[in-house]
Each structure stands twice: as C-alpha cells, then as structure tokens.
Amino acid sequence: MIEIKELHKYFGALHVLKGIDLNVQKGEVLSIIGASGSGKSTLLYCTNGLEAIQKGEVIVDGVSVHSKGTDLNKLRTKMGMVFQQWNSFPHLTALENVALAPKIVKGKSKSEAREIARQQLEHVGLGDKIDNYPSALSGGQQQRLAIARALAMEPEYMLFDEATSALDPELVGEVLDTMRLLAEEGMTMICVTHEMGFARDVSDRVAFFHQGVMEEIGPPQQIFGEPTSEHTAKFLANVR
Amino acid sequence: MNQSISFFSGFGPKDLWFLPQAAWQTLVISALSISTGTLLGILFGWILSESKIIGAVTLGLVLDAFRSVPLIIQLVLFYNLFNVIGLAINPFWAGVIILAVYTSALVANVARGGIEAVGAPMRRASRSLGMNYLQTIRHIVWPIGLRAVFPSWVGVALGVLKDSALVSVLGHPELLKVARDLITRTQQPLLVLAVAGAFYFALSYPISRYAAHLERKWQS
Amino acid sequence: MNFDYTFHWRPVMRKLPDLLEASLTTLQISVLSMIIGITFGLILAILRMNGPKPLAWIATGWVELARNTPALFQLFFFSFGLGAFGLHLTPYFIVLAGLTFNNAGYLAENFRGGFQAVPETQMRAARSLGMTAWQSYTRIVIPQVFRIVYHPMTNQLVWAVLMSSLAMIVGFRELAGETQALAFKTFRIFEYFAVTALIYYVMVKVILGLSRLIAWRMFRY
Ligand SMILES: Nc1ncnc2c1ncn2[C@@H]1O[C@H](COP(=O)(O)OP(=O)(O)O)[C@@H](O)[C@H]1O
Ligand SMILES: [Mg+2]
C-alpha cells in the first residue's frame, strides 16, 4: 500500500504540492488528472524518491521513502516508472534495455535476465523486436519497451507519467492497450494521464489536481458525472 | 619603480620594442594567408561540391594531403622545393604562400559543407522559381551556407593565426621566433612568454567566444 | 630559372629504417599524450561542469589557454617557462607535457559537449529502475557520451600526431626531429622531408581507417 500524508513540496520558493493526503491500495488503479503545472509529475517523483520533500511523509509497504536510512535503490525496484519522454537507452538493444536492471540491480544471472526480458517483451507485444535498437522502434513501441523494462524488475506498483502525451495520435492506442492489460492482470497503478477515456474505463478512482492541491477524488462515474469542485467541472469541460 | 628596472636588468626598452614588431609580422602573415586561402578555399569547395569529374576527385585528394601532413613539414618541404627549382623567394613570402594553400585546404572542406548544407532540393526549388544559377548562388546558397559554416570558418582562421607561428622554422622573425631569441638573449623567459602568449590569447579568445555566441544564436 | 639541382633519393632510402623507427616514437608519444590527455580532459570537463569555484576556474583557464594559444607556445612554456622556475624537462617530457596539455584542453570541451548531449531523462530513467548513481553513470550515461566524443577523439589523435612534429623545434628526435637531423647532415633536405611527409600521410590514413573500422564494430545503433 502507498500512503501519502500531508505532503508538501517546494522548488525554492515555489510551493508545488500543498499538503497531499492519498492512499493507494494493492490492486487499485488510480488516475490523476489536472492542468499542466498542477504538480502531478512532482507527486510521482516524490513517491519513488526521485525528488526530496519538505514536509509530510510517503510510506510504501510500511517503509518511509524519505527517511534517512531507506535504501532508495531497493525501494525503487518495487515501483516501476514510465515517463512522458520515451527514454529507452539508445545504446542497448530492446532485449538489453530490459535485461540490464535485473542483472546489475537484482543480481540475476545473464541468462536469467535475458529470459525475463524476453518474457516481458513478449508481454507488451514486442516479441519480434528483441534485437532492434530503439532507433528502429516507433514512439509507441519505445513506450511499450519502457513498460517492459519496468516490469522486468517485478514491481508491485507502476507509476505512469503521461505515458502517451508525447506520442503521435495513431500510436496512443497501443500503449493504452498495454496499460489496460496490466490493470486487468491486477497491477497496482498510478496513472497521470490526459486520456479521459482511459481514466473513466480503467481506473477504480480518479483524482483531480489543481494548483498543488488534490481538489477531489472519487470513482470515475462521480468525477466525470457529478464533480463537486467547480475547478474539476471547468477542467473537464475544457478537455472534452 | 627602481626595483622593477633592476629586476628586468637584462631587458632594455629596445628589446621590448621587438615584440610588437614581431606581433605585427604575425598579423600580416596571418591576414594575407587567411584572406587568400579563404578565397581559394571557397573556389575549391565549390569545385568539389559541383563536379563529380576526375578533376574534383584529384583536387580532393591533394587538399586532403595538405590536411594530413604536419604544417611544419610542409613549410620546410616547399621552401626547399622553391629553392630547388630556382625560385628565389624569401621566407616571408614562402610562409605566406604555403600557409595560404594550407588554409585553402581547410576552408575547402568547410565551404563544401556549407554548400551541401543548403541541399539540392532547396537549390532545385529556387531554380524552379526561375532563378538562374548565379542568382541561386547569390541569394540562396551564399546566405544560408554562410550561416551554417561561419563559426567553423572562424575556427579555421584562428587555427591559422596560431599555426603561423611555425613560419619561424624558415627563419622569419614572427612573434614566437623573436620571443625565443629574446629569451636566449635576455634570460627573461616569463616576461617574454607572457607578452607573446597574451597577444595570441587576446586575439583568439574574444573572437572564438563571439563565434560560439553566433553559432548558438543561429541554431535557435 | 636555373635547374641545376639533382634529386638523390638513395641516401634517404638507406636511412628509411631510421625514419620508420622514429615514426614509431611519434606514434608512441602521441598515443601516450592522448591517454593522459583523455584522463585530464575528463577531469577538466567534470570540474568545469560541477566542480567547486576555484577548481572550475583553473579548469577553465587550462582549457582556454590550450585552445587560444599556439601549440608551439605551449611547448615553449614547458621548456623555457618551467626553466625559469629551475625545472628543466628533457626534450621528451617537454613534448609529452605540451601535447598532453593541448589534448586535455580540446578534449575537455568535447567531453563537456558529450555530457550535455545526453538527456537528463536518461539518468532519471536509470535511477527509477533502482540503479545506483555510479551504475547509471557507467552503464547508461558514459557509453552514450563515449559514442558522441568518439569521432572528435579520433580527430584529436590525428591532431596529436601532426602536432608532435613540433618536437623538431625543441630538439626531440621523433619523426620530424630525426628527419631534420638527418637532412641537415646530408643537405638532402627536400628529399628527406618529402619522404617524411609521405610517412605522416600514411600514418594519418591508417589511424583514420582503423578508427572507422573500430567504430563500425563497436557502434551498432
Ligand atoms: N525541477 C524543477 N525545478 C523547479 N520547478 C519545477 C521543477 N519541476 C517542476 N517544477 C514546477 O513545479 C510545478 C509543477 O510541475 P509538474 O509536477 O511537472 O506539473 P504537472 O506534471 O502537473 O504538469 C510547475 O510549476 C513546474 O514549473
Ligand atoms: Mg507532468
């Protein structure tokens, strides 16, 4: 379980997250929506310790992420992350991209790591691309590669930061399908997204962020059907 | 004041006057060879990019050789060749000619890059607008290509300014030769080296910074 | 025009083994100056990017001096300049120090550009997979930087070979120095320098050819 308590984050004087309280249960799919600059990405980075926090606490399976003694590298293997910019490693083949972290972070043998990588590439539908370099893959394929790379660490949580925003429209579908597949398999997911269809159909809950505050959270029918905050209503009216 | 005079005891005011004179020689040699070398180099670059004939291939090989042999070897080699064929020529002009040819080999590469940066499609487009060959060069290739390669041309020119120091092997009193002689005579290596180094640095540093600034500006 | 000079190539050919041996010295000192230069260049680049202020300034001074003064001036510094402090290097070390100083300055700028060309997101992606900072650098960032700086690095090696000919002026007998010594003893200056020019040409071409071969084997993406 991920527990976020009274989380405050500043960039210098800029107050980016203003006291976020949020729990995500095992097996849950949470979508986070909101205007750009509202602090959605920052929340994900704080959740897996890529950004420091100034106040509050993030607890993942009982471990406090920002406490002194926490082994962040170990913790991060529990949380796969997929970013908006496709950042597959250009100097490695698809297989090597996926096999590297299991090998050097988890200490798997070379053949074990390659086997895991092959399975995960198969899983995201890239079974026929294992020897390609990222430069020979489309944006959508690179994003699926990034998902496979994260899955190879056998994470218990997946964090998606606008995984489809940088893609050409015709490539968005294949990545959303892969994410949908993970949700069906029971993966716990936090998805920052601008795909309202995905948020409505796949998530258990939807959270709306506005200027560093989580204005409301609830089941998709409620958020999309009868939002309680006028900001939510306005935002949804604009994206439709 | 008295102290500093006695400190530089081996160093008369007349000695100090040698350095600016020598610096002037360096400037003249560089200016002459960079300007003629650039004109030649643009011509060569144009031939290389325009014609695929044997002539261009041969020219390309010859120019490449000038870039693959140390300048100091070229200077000694051609200076002696001039003597061998009975062309009585002083070190100054020998140095200028050899440096100019060397410069042209470097500029030819840059110029060809500039012409190719404009690209065949764009040239074809301008021809299709009814511009003739010369108009295309004048209004399309020149302004666009110039922007693309001006920073690298500055790099070449500054390189030649620094390489002009090698004309000293022919015995011509450019800055570093005079500096070396002065050091031997006055035993004031630090002062002399500082003056000589400062001269090159004061020319090269601001110009290279300015070229880098232009490059950044033009890229965005 | 009177053409009373006759070319004599035989004496040069007889000394060819000496010239070839000297060209090995040229290669040796150039490669060594590159290896040390790469090390210093990396350190200078890192210091300039995120070193403490005074060290960053020293690094910047080194880089700018190396790039904005003649290589011959840099050799003079290591001979007469250090001599003023009572430090008298042998001709070999003068040349090695001069080449290394120059290489490091130019390479530092290449390395800096290489590091800046690898997007920050690569580092973040690596860390998000649980890699340590060291692992992220050595496995993800450095290999990409290496590819970016590979060609500039080869060019610098060629440049080092050409630059090492300045040894002739400070009296070290690598290829150019050896040529000069032999040529002025026999007065067949033109012939000696012509053969030496050819040897340099071949060396440069071999280096470039090999580097292209290595690049082709190494960079598959
Ligand atoms: N590294 C950073 N340094 C300074 N400000 C930042 C940094 N990252 C994000 N911000 C600022 O924090 C705010 C929230 O950013 P972000 O979390 O990326 O928003 P979102 O993902 O919702 O678009 C924005 O105003 C952004 O400019
Ligand atoms: Mg964002």
Question: Is B113 within 8 Å of B141 (Cβ atoms)?
Answer: no
B86–C contact, CB cutoff 8 A: yes
DSSP run (H or E) holding A128: none
| Listed residue (A37, A36, A32) closest to A14, CA to CA | A37
The C-alpha of C127 sits at a distance from chain A's nearest C-alpha, in angstroms, of 7
Query: Tens-digit pLDDT profile for chain A (240 aa)?
Result: 999 999 999 999 999 999 999 999 999 999 999 999 999 999 999 999 999 999 999 999 999 999 999 999 999 999 999 999 888 999 999 999 999 999 999 999 999 999 999 999 999 999 999 999 999 999 999 999 999 999 999 999 999 999 999 999 999 999 999 999 999 999 999 999 999 999 999 999 999 999 999 999 999 999 999 999 999 999 999 886
In sequence order, which ranges of B69-167 are alpha helices (DSSP H)? Answer: 71-84, 91-118, 120-128, 133-136, 142-163
Lowest mean pLDDT among A231-235, B33-37, B49-53, C182-186: B49-53
The C-alpha of C129 sits at a distance from chain B's nearest C-alpha, in angstroms, of 34
Contacts with B204 from chain C: Cβ below 8 Å: 67-69
Which residue of C76, C163, C190 is in closest CB contact with B193? C76
> Is residue A37 in contact with ligand 1, taking CB distance under 6 Å?
yes
pLDDT band at B62 (very low <50, low <70, confident <90, very high): very high
Question: Is A123 within 8 Å of A182 (Cβ atoms)?
Answer: no
Partner-chain contact C130 A105, CB within 8 Å: yes
pLDDT for the residue numbered B3: 38
Which residue of A48, A76, A100 is in closest CB contact with C139? A100
In C, minimum Cα distance to B71 occurs at C162
Partner-chain contact B176 C83, CB within 8 Å: no
pLDDT band at C1 (very low <50, low <70, confident <90, very high): very low
Q: Which amino acid is at C148?
A: I
Question: Is A1 within 8 Å of A23 (Cβ atoms)?
Answer: yes
Partner-chain contact C125 A91, CB within 8 Å: no
Q: Does the structure show a pLDDT above 80 at B150?
A: yes
Q: How far apart are CA A117 and CA A152, in angstroms?
A: 6
Q: Whose CA is nearest to atom 17 of ligand 1?
A: A39
pLDDT band at B19 (very low <50, low <70, confident <90, very high): confident
Q: How far apart are CA A59 and CA A48, in angstroms?
A: 10
Question: Residue A19 is encoded by which pair of tokens?
Answer: 């006291």
> For residue B151, what are the CA distances in angstroms to A164, A202, C32, C109?
39, 54, 31, 16
pLDDT for the residue numbered A126: 96
> Is residue A42 in contact with ligand 1, taking CB distance under 6 Å?
yes
The C-alpha of A71 sits at a distance from chain C's nearest C-alpha, in angstroms, of 10
> For residue C187, what are the CA distances in angstroms to A136, B75, B80, B172?
61, 16, 11, 20
pLDDT band at C3 (very low <50, low <70, confident <90, very high): low
Residue ranges of domains in chain B? 18-219
Q: Does the structure show a pLDDT above 60 at B1?
A: no
pLDDT for the residue numbered C9: 87
Question: Is B98 within 8 Å of B78 (Cβ atoms)?
Answer: yes
CATH level 3 topology of C20-216:
MetI-like fold (1.10.3720)
pLDDT band at C218 (very low <50, low <70, confident <90, very high): confident
Q: Whose CA is nearest to atom 13 of ligand 1?
A: A37
pLDDT for the residue numbered B2: 39
Which CATH number does B18-219 carry?
1.10.3720.10
Which residue of A48, A89, A135 is in closest CB contact with C128? A48
pLDDT for the residue numbered C140: 96
Q: Does the structure show a pLDDT above 50 at C51?
A: yes
Q: What is the residue-averaged pLDDT of chain C?
A: 93
Whether complex ipTM tops 0.85? yes
Q: Could you please report the per-residue DSSP string of B178-202?
A: HHHHHHHHH--HHHHHHHHHHHHHH
Q: How far apart are CA A141 and CA A145, in angstroms?
A: 6
Residue ranges of domains in chain C? 20-216
Partner-chain contact B73 C193, CB within 8 Å: yes
Q: What are phi and psi of A71, to 5 degrees?
A: -85, 95
Residue from A41, A46, A54, A160 whose mutation best tests the ligand 1 pocket (most atoms within 8 A of CB): A41
Distant-in-sequence, close-in-space partners of A115: CB < 8 Å, separation ≥ 6: none
Q: What is the pLDDT of residues B155-202, one digit of tens each?
A: 999 999 999 999 999 988 999 999 999 888 888 899 899 999 999 999
Ligand 2 centre distance from Cα of residue A151 (Å)? 22
C138–A contact, CB cutoff 8 A: no
